[in-house]
Amino acid sequence: MTFPYNQLFTFTESVFLSMGCPPEDATLATEALLSADLRGIDSHGVARLIGYVRLWEAGRINATPRVGVVYETPSTAVVDGDGGLGLVVAPKAMNIALEKARLAGTGWVSVKNSNHFGIAGYHAMKALAHDMIGMAMTNASPLVAPTYSLDRLLGTNPIAVAIPAGEQPDFVADFATTTAANGKLEIAQRKQIPVPEGWVQNADGSGSTDANAVKNGGALLPLGGETGSHKGYCLGSVVDIFSAVLSGANYGPWVPPFVAFLQPPADPVGQGIGHFFGAMRVDAFRPAAEFKAHMDNWISTFRNAKAVEGKQVIIPGDPERIMAQHRLLGGIPLLDPVIQDLESVGKKFGVQL
């Protein structure tokens, strides 16, 4: 079934309000969450709403956090999310990075004591309206085995970079540092279909196409495949260190799980989940108009590159931008299991889908 964006927005906002979120936070969280559905990243959108509710019911999400800076310099800060929704903590932390960049040229913020923040791209894109380059990353539940490992020590640990252009659409790269995000496994599980080779390994380290391999003791695999997974492992490690070792959040195998039925490790090394945000004022490097004119040239050159037969060279952000335009007009499709989850959440709070 397909649902209008406004209908899902009203429903989701009502759920966050019912959890006790202040109105401003409920609106902010809803916008961040549904940005994933609009952009076609269905694994991180409203399908995750029931997960946030369950974490709140388990006492692992603070609906009324006092998000604040606990350490800073003119261009850097550490933010304590006070156990709040990452969907709320992250935009507020990104705004701090933007303000520091406005004053100092660049702003860098590492966050501790937060939760899952939705898609990284939403937060990085907040810089675009200010003629800034935005960066966002986060660590996540340990479901990923480093190269040659059987142990799950890293999360999918996404990286997003948003770069403004002039006449051309902005450049927006947003990707997990694994071959596939865990949310894509969840979609395959709901559809009861196998996953491509190279996504997961079994508990013994052998390759698998079973969408339930991770549930059965296996692991997600780093980006890069059989001969290049060390590169994805390195990228995921950088995200973990920037997001958590730098801020005082939990890192590696100590990152708390997103699912409420699994308890966080009993011996935490930090507080909550960690994020990292960056903002760079373009005119701290060269005039913004000049930069964006050259970005237009860069984008046009790559988009018009000679492509293999039947294919087209795309720019990072193109598919998501086109999908958002389509779904704003035509609605957002939801799988039956997601609809059932939302209906159960609505029944719990007396909210109609």
Contact 106, 75 (CB under 8 A): yes
If you average pLDDT over every residue of the chain, what do you get? 96
Which has the higher per-residue pLDDT, 288 or 260?
288
pLDDT of residue 182 exceeding 90: no
Confidence band, pLDDT 50/70/90 cuts, at residue 185: confident
Q: Summarize pLDDT for 103-120 with one digit per residue, the tens.
A: 999 999 999 999 999 999
Calculate mean pLDDT across residues 37-44. Answer: 95
Calculate mean pLDDT across residues 299-321. Answer: 96
Query: Which pLDDT does position 186 carry in this prediction?
Result: 82
Contact 61, 84 (CB under 8 A): yes
In angstroms, what CA-CA distances link 206 with 146, 227, 233, 322? 14, 15, 18, 38
All residues at 6 or more sequence positions from 154 whose CB lies less than 8 Å from its CB, including other chains: 139, 142, 143, 144, 146, 177, 222, 233, 236, 237, 240, 252
In 3D space, the residue among 276, 240, 228 whose CA is nearest the CA of residue 81 turns out to be 276
d(CA 43, CA 199): 15
Query: Which pLDDT does position 180 carry in this prediction?
Result: 86
Calculate mean pLDDT across residues 13-36. Answer: 98
What would the two tokens of residue 30 be?
């809803």
Confidence band, pLDDT 50/70/90 cuts, at residue 121: very high
Q: Summarize pLDDT for 139-174 with one digit per residue, the tens.
A: 999 999 999 999 999 999 999 999 999 999 999 999
pLDDT of residue 183 exceeding 80: no
Q: Can you give the C-alpha Rg of the chain in angstroms?
A: 20
pLDDT of residue 267 exceeding 90: yes
Count of alpha carbons within 13 Å of 162, Cβ hemisphere only? 26
Kindly report the number of other CB atoms within 10 A of residue 198's CB atom.
17
d(CA 265, CA 257): 9
d(CA 283, CA 300): 22
DSSP secondary structure of 15-56: HHHHTT--HHHHHHHHHHHHHHHHTT-GGGSGGGHHHHHHHH
Consecutive H or E run containing 123:
helix 120-124
Contact 295, 302 (CB under 8 A): no
d(CA 71, CA 170): 32
pTM of the model: 0.95
Contact 56, 69 (CB under 8 A): no
Calculate mean pLDDT across residues 289-314. Answer: 97
Confidence band, pLDDT 50/70/90 cuts, at residue 190: confident
pLDDT of residue 32 exceeding 90: yes
Query: Which pLDDT does position 262 carry in this prediction?
Result: 85
Contact 2, 331 (CB under 8 A): yes
Contact 222, 144 (CB under 8 A): yes
